[in-house]
Amino acid sequence: MLLGSQAAAAAPPVAVTFPGYETVRNIDDYATAEAYRAAVADPAFVMERVTYPSDGLEVYAYVYRPVAPTKRMPVIIFNRGSYTWPSFSAELVTMAHRLGQRGYLVFAPMYRGSGGAQGRDEMGGADLDDLFNLLPVVRSLTYADPDQLYLYGESRGGMMVYQALRDGFPARAAAVVGGFTDLETMLQEPRWAEAGASIWPELATDRAKIVDRRSAIHWAEKINIPVLLLHGARDRSVAPSHALDLAQRLSDLGKQFELHVVEGEGHVLSSRTEDRDKWVVDWFERHAEAPAKVAPQP
């Protein structure tokens, strides 16, 4: 249960009920049927949906935790991909189960406009506040260690992670899978040009501002904690050049990072999900003793 001030969550947590494996579209990108069913059936863990305030809105996040936590645990905040979702609990649970078995609490913001929440998802605009406003929820849990925070992002969520680091999120380390780093390059693709006009109605008048905010390649000097970059060599959703270009910029700046371009893999490293999560947790554990570095506010 959540403990602490009423400001940390607007309503009691609600246990998540998971759909059958065969009913979830593209679930095989995230888990095998065997791994999914094992995660869902494990009585040692529970996933809950919490409601919390953000900029005057009520928004949601998932929390994956032991049923009976006995100690303070490090926290991974996972930032999902894509735009609005009715739910992504099925896509999350197998990964969260692996992270939970390694001793981590997992938080995953849904972002405004998803799951029936209030507000409009700006895909890297004011919705970034929904990530920062999870911090009081984390701090309200007696079994969460707010001094051991890590950021994990996938695709769009990678862009959210980079922005959070730019704006001073108190993480010790971060990991990004298939994240885009240069929105202008993305918008040159016909499918993204069409999607962008829908996601950002003001794109025609505020293009430079929208692009700059969401493009880590423009402000890599503000990324001040160790970052693991993972990208599929055959990623057709976000070209590997996004990771390669950011890695070069981080190298030029003397930043601490690692880059792994995984041969034969696509956008979310679908056939290497266990390896992917192991690499991420190993990276976090390597940097567990390093102090969190908070970047200056822009």
Residue 5 has pLDDT above 70, yes or no: no
Helix (H, G, I), strand (E, B) or coil at 15: strand
Query: Using CA atoms, how far apart are residues 215 and 180, in angstroms rounded to an integer?
Result: 8
Q: What percent of the chain has pLDDT over 90?
A: 92
Confidence band for 99, pLDDT divided at 50, 70 and 90? very high
Residue 9 has pLDDT above 80, yes or no: no
What's the whole-number average pLDDT of the chain?
94
Q: Which residue has the tokens 């040159």?
A: 188
pLDDT at 67: 97
pLDDT at 11: 77
**Class of the domain covering 6-286:** alpha beta
Report the pLDDT averaged over residues 207-233: 98
Cα separations in angstroms, 288 against 23, 66, 158, 221: 38, 21, 20, 22
Specify whether the CB–CB gap between 60 and 50 falls below 8 A.
yes
Lowest mean pLDDT among 6-20, 63-77, 133-147, 211-225: 6-20
Confidence band for 225, pLDDT divided at 50, 70 and 90? very high
Q: Are strands 57-66 and 105-109 parallel, antiparallel or unpaired?
A: antiparallel
Confidence band for 192, pLDDT divided at 50, 70 and 90? very high
Residue 160 has pLDDT above 90, yes or no: yes
Residue 7 has pLDDT above 90, yes or no: no
Query: Using CA atoms, how far apart are residues 295 and 30, in angstroms rounded to an integer?
Result: 33
pLDDT at 289: 83
Specify whether the CB–CB gap between 226 and 259 falls below 8 A.
no
Specify whether the CB–CB gap between 149 and 75 falls below 8 A.
yes
pLDDT at 294: 52
pLDDT at 292: 63
Listed in sequence order, the residues at least 6 apart from 125 whose beta carbon sits closer than 8 Å to its beta carbon are 210, 213
Q: Which residue has the tokens 């601490």?
A: 256
Confidence band for 8, pLDDT divided at 50, 70 and 90? very low
Confidence band for 26, pLDDT divided at 50, 70 and 90? very high
Which residue did the predictor score with more confidence, 12 or 92?
A: 92
Residue boundaries of the structural domains of the chain: 6-286
The pTM (predicted TM-score) of the whole model is 0.94
Tens digit of pLDDT for each residue in 249-260?
Answer: 999 999 999 999
Report the pLDDT averaged over residues 111-123: 97
Strand partners, 107: 63, 77
